[in-house]
């Protein structure tokens, strides 16, 4: 591949990582802020207990973190190293 294409893909992945990280932080803050309000809605609609809801929320944040790191950041870093090796 051309170096310019590699640079474009690297920059795209890194900027996507940064924007996704901001959204993940926002999602965490919103979850903590509205936990009491949202848990009653979830309890009434899906009939699950608070312990199960907590596990589901933690699990979703773990999956989000894995995607951000291994889906976006690691390829951006590897492309950065490949571009440095070409120069």
pLDDT at site 86: 84
10-37 confidence digits (pLDDT tens): 999 999 999 999 999 999 999 999 999 9
Q: So what's the pLDDT on residue 77?
A: 95
At 48, give phi and psi (nearest 5°). Answer: -115, 155
> pTM for the whole thing?
0.83
1 pLDDT higher than 80: no
């Amino acid at each position: 591949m051309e170096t310019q294409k590699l640079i474009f893909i690297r920059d795209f992945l890194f900027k996507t990582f940064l924007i996704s990280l901001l959204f993940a932080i926002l999602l965490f803050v919103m979850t903590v802020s509205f936990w009491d309000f949202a848990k009653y809605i979830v309890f009434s609609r899906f009939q699950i207990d608070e312990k199960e809801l907590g596990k589901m929320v933690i699990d979703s944040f773990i999956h989000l973190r894995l995607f951000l790191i291994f889906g976006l950041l690691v390829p951006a870093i590897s492309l950065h190293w490949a571009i440095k090796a070409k120069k």
